[in-house]
Amino acid sequence: MRVVGLTGGIASGKSTVSKELRDGSGLPVVDADKIARAALRKNTPGYKRVLKIFGKGILLPDGNVDREKLGNIVFADPAQRKLLDRALGPVIARTMLWDVLKHWIAGTPVLVLDVPLLFETGMDRYTSPVVVVWVDADTEEERLIARDGLSQEQARNRINSQRSLDWKREKADIVIDNSGSLELTQQQIQEFVEKITTAPLSWKEMLCSRNFVGSVVAVAIASSLCWRLCSKRDA
Ligand SMILES: CC(C)(COP(=O)(O)OP(=O)(O)OC[C@H]1O[C@@H](n2cnc3c(N)ncnc32)[C@H](O)[C@@H]1O)[C@@H](O)C(=O)NCCC(=O)NCCS
Ligand SMILES: Nc1ncnc2c1ncn2[C@@H]1O[C@H](COP(=O)(O)OP(=O)(O)OP(=O)(O)O)[C@@H](O)[C@H]1O
């Protein structure tokens, strides 16, 4: 299975690109933001861990986490953000791993992991190619403010809580420049989909493929059975 990493900055257009990959090209996408949202749902283990750290002050009257309030706390203070990352990181990582495994078992040929913190968490080591959705800094800030109704300070805090988009761009295998129109972005997506669905498998992808692992396991079981039968017969 080819596991493609999709990342970028906050509001750079990852969801826009991943929606196009899913709906336009039929590629399955594992969405880390969606998993993170589920991990904070009321009374889940993630919710309980976060509540222990941040206290009941981050709750809405109905007991759900006030995401805006928690966001304002963690994006204004790196130490608080680290606490949240430590509480939710393992829960998110476990769910993602499980999702990848399900796709591997089902024989999915190409899977996209949409992970905002792909580089920051080191997950880029397990994905290839790594696709970075890039926009210039002014456009990123404008789109973030327009989408989430944030003040400029709130938007800057959120942007600065991640590695810069230019740094991510340097580390990318493929860059999608989403500073222009959606049509221009769609053209780039089509070119990249063509590349990832037709490129031959690397040796790492072949070693991890379901068929290869299946064959190794089958040979191991068969030789162990043979060995047992032969040693019984000789005894
Ligand atoms: C702080 C929270 C409650 C704010 O919720 P809110 O609805 O305002 O934002 P949302 O979840 O839609 O995230 C928007 C974007 O913020 C950025 N972001 C989210 N968490 C982090 C983080 N810990 N560090 C840096 N950037 C982050 C991402 O680019 C993400 O796409 C929420 O972001 C959260 O629970 N974050 C921790 C989980 C996490 O690390 N998510 C990223 C998955 S890799
Ligand atoms: N090419 C584009 N032209 C105009 N607006 C765009 C373009 N691409 C995305 N947008 C808008 O910019 C905003 C941010 O895009 P999107 O939500 O896809 O970013 P994201 O990287 O997934 O954000 P986050 O990191 O917060 O999850 C959205 O309101 C989206 O509609």
Same domain, 117 and 100: no
Query: Which residue shows structure tokens 């790492």?
Result: 204
Same domain, 10 and 117: yes
State in Å: Cα 191 to ligand 1 middle: 29
- What is the ipTM for the molecules in this complex? 0.95
Pocket test of ligand 2: the residue of 16, 131, 135 to mutate, having most ligand atoms within 8 Å of its CB, is 16
Residue nearest to atom 5 of ligand 1 (CA): 67
Same domain, 18 and 85: no
- Please report, as a single letter, which amino acid is at residue 221: I
Atom of ligand 1 minimally distant from the CA of 39: 35
Pocket test of ligand 2: the residue of 18, 142, 143, 187 to mutate, having most ligand atoms within 8 Å of its CB, is 143
Residues contacting 67, CB < 8 A, separation 6+: 40
Same domain, 114 and 176: yes
Same domain, 115 and 102: no
Same domain, 115 and 190: yes
Report pLDDT for 229.
Answer: 78
Same domain, 114 and 1: yes
Atom of ligand 2 minimally distant from the CA of 116: 25
Q: Does 155 fall in a domain?
A: no
- Does ligand 2 lie within 6 Å of residue 37's CB atom? no
For residue range 75-121, list pLDDT tens digits in order. Answer: 999 999 999 999 999 999 999 999 999 999 999 999 999 999 999 99
Domain count, the chain: 3
Whole-number Cα distances in Å, 115 to 18, 55, 112? 11, 27, 9
Q: Does 126 fall in a domain?
A: yes
Give the residue numbers spanning the domain of 62.
35-107
For residue range 189-224, list pLDDT tens digits in order. Answer: 999 899 888 887 787 777 777 777 777 777 888 877
Q: Does 156 fall in a domain?
A: no
Pocket test of ligand 1: the residue of 34, 67, 118, 164 to mutate, having most ligand atoms within 8 Å of its CB, is 67
CB 113 within 8 A of CB 6: yes
